[in-house]
Every structure is written in C-alpha cells, then in structure tokens.
Amino acid sequence: MAIPRFSSLLRSRKFAKSDCLVASIGFVLIVFFLSFFFDPTSDSVPSVDRSPPIKSPPDLVKLTLSSKAKERGAFCLDGSLPGYHFHKGSGSGSKSWLLHLEGGGWCSTVASCSARAMTMLGSSTYFEDEVDFQGVLSSDPSQNPEFFNWNRVKIRYCDGASFAGHPEAEFKNGTRLFFRGQLIWEAIMDELLSMGMSDAKQGILTGCSAGGLATLIHCDYFRDHLPKDAAVKCVSDGGFFLNVPDVLGHPTMRSFYHDVVNLQGVDKSLDQNCVAKPEPSKCMFPQSFVNNIKTPVFLVNPAYDFWQIQNVLVPASTDLDKSWAKCRLNIKECDAAQMKVLHGFRSSLMDAIGKFHQNKAGGMFIDSCFSHCQTLMSATWHSPTSTRIENKTIAESVGDWYFNRKPVKLIDCPYPCNPSCYNLNFT
C-alpha cells in the first residue's frame, strides 16, 4: 500500500526545506484521509473532541482511467493515466453535475515530485479501485440532502500543482516527470462533457485543500464549458491558503509556492491580470485573485485551519525548541500567548476575505474549528451532530446559497465559542 512506502521514504531521505513541507503535506493528508475513512483503529488517526455519528454503509464508487488522457498527453507525474470516480445521477438530478477535485498538497522540487510519483498523489498505479463517496459526494439523502442524486465525480489528484502544471516546464529538469495538471483537468472535463455534462442544467465545481485551490483556479473555465443557461457555481473547501509569514517572520508558504510555480509552469493557469504583476507566485494565493472570479463562489474554511497552522504559521522548521509542539497538534493545548497568535491568524483570514465578503453573489461558511477539509465527511458536512453556525450545517448553508434561497455569509465567533466543532487532535 502507498502509505507505508511513502512514510519510509520520509524516514530515509534528507529533504530540503521545501521538500520537508511537501512531505508533511503528502503524509498528513494521505494518513489522515485514508486512515480516518478506512482504518479507524490506526495509531495515525487524529481523534476528535466528541463522538462522530454512526456511519452509514460505504458508498463505494469504481475508478475509471481517463480514455481521453493519452491522446491529450495528460499524464500523472510518473506518466500513468489520470482517473476519476463517477456515480451517475438519477431522477431530478440526472442533468445536474457535481465535480470534486481531490486535494493532497504540492511538490516544489524534482526530488519531492519524484518521491510523490511513487505514491497515489503522483501515480494512478497506487489509486484504489473503489473509494467511499461521503459528505457532498454521498448518495444518501440524510447525509447529502441537496445533491444526493446528482451526477457526482471525484477527480483524482496526481500532478502536484493543483491541476495547473504545464508540460513546457518539464524541459527544465531533464527527468521523466510529467507536469501535466492543466491537461489532466482539460482531458477529464472533455470526457465528462461527452458523457452528458454538456447538457447540464446545474453544475458545481468543488474540491478540498489543494483541490479547493484548484476549484478557484479553474472555476471560470468550468462555467465557460457548461451550457450558458445552466446554474453553475463553485465551492472551495479548505483552499483559501494565506500569504502570511510564519511565527519567525519568514515567508515560508510564499517561498514554497514560488518554487511550485517555477518548477511546474503554473503561472499559465493563474489569473493573467494578477500574473502580469512582478511576482506570479503570489497569484497562487486566493486573496490575490478570488475577487476576479466571475462565477459565484462559496468559501468553506475553518479560521483555525490545522493544516495551515502546522505548515504555514508554525512549520516544524520554526519550532526547534518544541515550544509549539503540543499546540500545533491540539488547539486545546495552546497557552494564552499561542492563542493570541492563532487569533491573529484568524484576523489575517478576515482581512483576506474582507472584499469578497461584499460580493453579493459569493457565500461563505467560516467556522472556528481546528479542522481542514469539511465537505467530504458526513460528520462535518451534514449530520445530526455536524458543525453549525447560526444552527445551519455546511450542507444546508451551501444549499441555501446555491439555490438562491437566501444570502449566506456565515462567520463564526473566535475559538472556543462553537461547541459543535470537530476539533482534531493529532497528539
């Protein structure tokens, strides 16, 4: 299985600073999502501060490797074919489509991309034959009341640049790595359009983490390729990464994105008005381009995003004396001084979405949980005990916004005010 292979790789290699960041990204997301969903007895599984609801039987959906990828030159990092999982819609949802872009970090160097190419985040060789559709992808109306009978697609992530890399960049490194994220996105879009999405009446593009960022990058492309009279919107989950210095004042995330953009030629997929400015890598940060997206966007983001706290605000390289060790892994272990820093991080998010908040077509659900992706699990998307703001679950809030029932601009009070949060504990 890919998890032990990747974790042993992490133990045996010496990584540069940027490689350490991508290693932590890949490892945390692989272990968290796979172990949390499929192996609840694993020692790697983070706990939560209250019991999740009883899970319904698995909704397993088979893998399809793209039939159009080879002719388009669309390959995963290792040259294998990209893929997706498709659950056909029915009844009133037969002409409605929901596409979910998988997340899993990025790679910024030849070494880290080569390591990634030996995992499910860089090669379809390691993809599961079936995955469980939960949350926004579920076919259970009790879990997913608005979109349960839509055509639902999970697009697998195997390029390392939020579906935005370009093959021209491959000539820089002389390796057999394929930087084809943009082509993967276009090839699978073409395939889905030929399968009936070209007649869609309703459409949603969504994604988690790096897939949430990809959702924002490709939102207008998605809108432009569906019928003009279709109701098309985008929902980014945990994808609003902040351009802020770490606790030592270093631009860790900005430097990392700079390397991703340069290595994989991502600038060609980014907002071109933004890219025209001096530093294209800044255009990877949603605050730089979200207000230029023409299609209506909904942001789902925790104000105390554990991934960003662990990798953007307090990366391991800044905590050599281990003073943040407990706080990074469990927000309940943070002392008063550390909570002041975390509240400052929340304030940075509020500042970054300030202008977007005035966007009449936009929506948001910004809770105060120590969490990351929240739309993929029924426990956080929609269940009797789900996270709520103003007594609304994320699913209810997205539904109200998508179907224009009411404006939705929900921003939680600061931690620890919301007892409905699923705060993860990595200790």
pLDDT tens digits, one per residue of 55-108: 667 789 999 999 999 999 999 999 999 999 999 999 999 999 999 999 999 999
Q: Check residue 50 and give its pLDDT.
A: 63
**Strand pairing partners for 152?**
87, 98
Crossing angle (nearest 10°) for helices 210-224 and 181-194? 50
Predicted confidence (pLDDT) per residue in 144-176, tens digit = 999 999 999 999 999 999 999 999 998 765 678
Q: Cα separation of 409 and 323, whole Å?
A: 36
Residue 209 annotated in active site? yes
The tokens describing 387, both together, are: 């996270």
Q: Cα separation of 30 and 24, whole Å?
A: 10
- CB-based contact 140:176 (threshold 8 Å): no
Residue 372 annotated in active site? yes
One digit per residue, pLDDT tens: the chain, 427 residues? 333 333 332 323 333 434 434 333 333 333 333 333 323 223 334 766 665 555 667 789 999 999 999 999 999 999 999 999 999 999 999 999 999 999 999 999 999 999 999 999 999 999 999 999 999 999 999 999 999 999 999 999 999 999 999 999 987 656 789 999 999 999 999 999 999 999 999 999 999 999 999 999 999 999 999 999 999 999 999 999 999 999 999 999 999 999 999 999 999 999 999 998 878 899 999 999 999 999 999 999 999 999 999 999 999 999 999 999 999 999 999 999 999 999 999 999 999 999 999 999 999 999 999 999 999 999 999 999 999 999 999 999 999 999 999 999 999 999 999 999 999 999 8
Catalytic residue, chosen from 209, 269, 371, 397, is: 209
Catalytic residue, chosen from 108, 372, 378, 386, is: 372
Domain ranges of the chain: 46-425
Amino acid present at 132 = D
Q: Check residue 419 and give its pLDDT.
A: 95
- CB-based contact 424:46 (threshold 8 Å): yes
Catalytic residue, chosen from 78, 271, 305, 367, is: 305
- CATH architecture of the domain with range 46-425: 3-Layer(aba) Sandwich (3.40)
Q: Check residue 1 and give its pLDDT.
A: 30
Query: Token pair 């709520």 is at which residue?
Result: 388
Q: Check residue 297 and give its pLDDT.
A: 98
Residue 305 annotated in active site? yes
